[in-house]
Amino acid sequence: MDAMKTGCFIARKRKERNMSQRELAEYLHITDKARP
């Protein structure tokens, strides 16, 4: 997978779970500034 496909995949899965980018960052134990 290239970076663009990976980013789209992550965004799609995040949206399917009704998660914000901040919630995903917290779930992954990273800062929301480090998100893709």
Token representation of residue 7? 């980013």
Domain ranges, residue 12: 3-34
Look at 31 and 8; give whichever has higher pLDDT: 8
Question: pLDDT (tens digit, 9 = 90+) per residue, 2-26?
Answer: 999 999 999 999 999 999 999 999 9
The separation between the first and the last C-alpha atoms of the chain, rounded to the nearest angstrom, is 15
Q: Is pLDDT at 27 greater than 80 in this prediction?
A: yes
Band (pLDDT 50/70/90 cuts) for residue 33 is confident
Cβ 9 vs Cβ 36: under 8 Å: no
Number of domains in the chain: 1
Give the pLDDT band of residue 1 (cuts 50, 70, 90). Answer: low
Which pLDDT does position 31 carry in this prediction? 82
